[in-house]
Amino acid sequence: MSIVHLNTAGAGLMSPRTVEAISAFMSREATLGSYETELEYDELLNRQLYRRAARLLNTEPGTIGFFSSATEAWVSILSKLQFPKGARVWVSTSEYAANLIFFNYLKQSRGIRVEVIPATDQSPLDLDWVERNISDDLFLVSVSHIPSCCGVVNPIEALGAILRQSPALYVVDACQSLGQLTLDVQDIQCDLLTGAGRKFLCGPRGSGIAYVSPRLLSRLALNFADLHAAHTDGLINHVAVSGARVLEIAEKSFSALVGLHNALDEYAQEGAAMATEPYALLTGELKRLPQLRLLCDGYAQSGIVSFVPDGMPPQEFVARARELGLNLWAGTAAHTPLLLKDLGATHFVRASVGRRVSVHQAELALEKIRQIL
């Protein structure tokens, strides 16, 4: 049975070429030795990879760092930022729960004040509210571009344009939009943008990317630099690497990075446009089904569509779909607690459409969904 994979928001399917790149690297490690293979791949791992990610985000390679996940990137970087006591922080309604947990710890340790940028009926971010409430004491604004629960698209460029009026740092969690929507950090005007390699980019698990603006980098208090970036005579540290790489950990999954390098290459060649039609078809047809309640239906969405089915737990719905060869996912409302606080259910069914899903596969998925209902 061939599988229709609509769980790219969990992890996208790697292409045969990406799998081949990873296994060629691993085979080489097994014959030549891991450190020796790393030396052979020096150009790819230390230069091409950074150039590719930089091109994707329209930035310089020195602003790019690689991590093992989006959360590791986001948390390890923001952990190096000194939040002033009582700092004022804004978050989006789409905020990912791990980010909120981080801010809650800072409420305890630094007494920061976290305010939620309200939504309107048309937009997940009320930009008029932002204009009215922005002030010089705003320290940081954090927005999840697309939440993990559905395809709501936050207007990050418009928000960035307003935030330029204030000294606030601007952080974008692009985990669900990286590889799905165009992300240009010059347009967004953000200080930090993070994402995972495994989702819409269709890279391997264990890879995360961060863009760090020179402004943010200069404000981070380095509490550590690993040995790819620093050395010591035992008493004094000498940091030899400039740019976002100083934030990385030296030991990485190099095979994952080789796979990510290929996935970035493929994305640059293919673009994301291929998924637009199957996504529109799927969403349009799901809206017609009276047995489903679509999440955040009033907002413009992309790539992900979620629903609560009548009379069947989402976990059971997803298990039935899997038996029929359709990969959906039972999303957890607690992962996007602000946006889904009124959902009235702990879980929902999430369908996410990667760029290689065809219209035919979207039709097959709809057939299977109707069969379950």
Ligand X SMILES: Cc1ncc(COP(=O)(O)O)c(C=O)c1O
Binding-site ranges for ligand X (CB under 6 A): 69-71, 96, 144, 147-148, 173, 175-176, 196, 208
Smallest gap from Cβ 145 to ligand X, in A, equals 8
Strands (DSSP E) found in the chain: 4-5, 64-67, 88-91, 113-116, 138-144, 169-173, 192-196, 208-212, 230-232, 237-239, 292-294, 304-309, 326-327, 329-332, 347-352
Smallest gap from Cβ 253 to ligand X, in A, equals 13
Shortest CA distance to 111 belongs to which of 79, 75, 83, 143?
A: 83
Smallest gap from Cβ 62 to ligand X, in A, equals 23
Smallest gap from Cβ 173 to ligand X, in A, equals 5
Smallest gap from Cβ 198 to ligand X, in A, equals 7
Quick check: 351 and 306 in contact, CB under 8 A?
yes
Residue 291 CA to residue 314 CA, distance in Å, equals 13
* Paired tokens of 51: 């150039």
Quick check: 279 and 321 in contact, CB under 8 A?
no
9 CB-near residues (< 8 Å, 6+ apart): 148, 176, 199, 200, 303, 304, 329, 350, 352
Q: Which lies closer to ligand X via its Cβ, residue 69 or residue 283?
A: 69
Buried b (16+ CB within 10 A) or exposed e, 166-181: bebbbbbbbbbbbbbb
Q: Which lies closer to ligand X via its Cβ, residue 69 or residue 123?
A: 69
Smallest gap from Cβ 201 to ligand X, in A, equals 11
Helix axes 49-57, 254-270, angle to 10 degrees: 40
Residue 212 CA to residue 208 CA, distance in Å, equals 13
Q: Which lies closer to ligand X via its Cβ, residue 61 or residue 208?
A: 208
- Which DSSP letter does residue 74 get? H
Smallest gap from Cβ 176 to ligand X, in A, equals 5
